[in-house]
Amino acid sequence: MTDQEFEKGLAELMAEDGTGKKKGKKKSGKLKGWKNWSRRRKIVVGVVAVAAALFVVMKMKGGGNDGAVMVSTVPLEKGDVEEVLSISGPVSGTDSAEVVSRLHAEILEILVKEGDKVTAGQVLARLDSEDVQKEVEIAQNAYNLAVAERNEAQLQAEIGYAKARQDELAAKRDYDRKAMLYAGGDVSQMELEAARDVLAEASRQVSAFHLQGGKPAANESYDLRIRNAEFELEKKKKELEDVEVKSPIDGTVVRVNSRVGRFADTVDDDRPLFVIDNLEKLEMKINVSEYSIGKVKVGQKAEISADILGGETEEGLITSISPTGEEKGGGSTERVIPTTIQIQNKNTKLIAGITARAQIVLNESKDTWVVPMGALIEKEGGTYLASVENNVVKMIPVETGVESDVEVEVKGDGLTEGLFYIASPMAFLEDGMTVAASPVQ
């Protein structure tokens, strides 16, 4: 078939509507049969495409460069390739504290502002202490009363126990005396039994007393009252201390969410009174996919970038990986694993509260054959690189290694220095085809 014959046949196919008839003039205003016409047209276009492809292949296999497909080739070169995981996450201090107050007390003073550096125990604000002071006094009085009542009960127990013991000893002596008289016939049995009953009652009175270490003690209920009163007193004393709102950590005040005159326990949106961050060391919190976490290890380095750095980067180090995963959210079934990256530079331009991007090198290969992802052809039986020598395609079987977003490491016996390959090969290329190759400038 000549080029002219093929082009003529192609034109006739394009002119047909799928029924073998020439297309006539359209009838306006009628849509009937549109779907069938469209399907027939698709069939025709498909036939044309296949025929065109077959023609190209025949031309290429037929030898010569006339009409051969033009391809661009590049030399095979060695380089470095990295598989990189890129994830965004918030930057924060390594230590953070939200300072709140449960006291319903008016704020009299706020002693810091956002950006101030503070130390642990430093007073951030002072609250009105009048009501709390009164509550401390009431709790102190209740405690003192409980102690006094216990002391009085203790005294009465000691006095009562001493009297009961004396009564028991007297009853014992009387019983012993009457027992001797009864043996001599000087008292009746009734008198002896009466003395025995008195002794039994006296002993019962003695045993009714609560003893601790063999000594009389007040009822345990008094001790319980003292403990309750003491607990309440300590609670009120703690509240009195809390009228001075203090920082629990060394750090920087990053948020002040209230003002003088408001009540300490009623901050808008349930926000804390203050947020303190330790900004001496910053860290990033990222969520790594369950599909990538197996390649992430504690101690791996990360490259941190953010708009605030103005094109510069910071070095990060993975310091912790959570032992458990959690839901990714957004309706996804994928799980993610919380991971922490510590920023290594203490003098970084990064600040807490912004979002940064971490790039973690998961795998790398240096001084290896590297080609673009699109240069590989997948065919039955494996992966191939389409090389060109003297305008003839040669398919070289390869194995892939480390992959980046755009490049991939390739390995194979047929890979040599000076080899040229097609940068963007067509799927229909076959081993032995003739092409018109031109190197990429």
**Which amino acid is it at 252?**
T
pLDDT < 50 regions, the chain: 1-64
Look at residue 66 in the predicted model and tell me its pLDDT: 55
Assess contact for 278 and 93: CB atoms under 8 A: yes
434 part of a folded domain: yes
Q: Please give the residue range of the domain that contains residue 390.
A: 70-81+366-439
Look at residue 329 in the predicted model and tell me its pLDDT: 85
Comparing CA positions, the residue from 231, 230, 212 lying closest to residue 220 is 212
Given 219, 240, 261, the domain boundary residue is: 240
87 part of a folded domain: no
CATH number of the domain where residue 255 is located: 2.40.50.100
Q: Given the DSSP bridges, would you call strands 436-439 and 392-403 parallel, antiparallel or unpaired? A: unpaired
Q: Based on the domain organization, do 55 and 76 belong to the same domain? A: no
Look at residue 43 in the predicted model and tell me its pLDDT: 39
Look at residue 85 in the predicted model and tell me its pLDDT: 94
CATH number of the domain where residue 286 is located: 2.40.30.170
Look at residue 214 in the predicted model and tell me its pLDDT: 78
409 part of a folded domain: yes
Assess contact for 82 and 404: CB atoms under 8 A: yes
CATH number of the domain where residue 424 is located: 2.40.420.20
| Chain length of the chain | 441
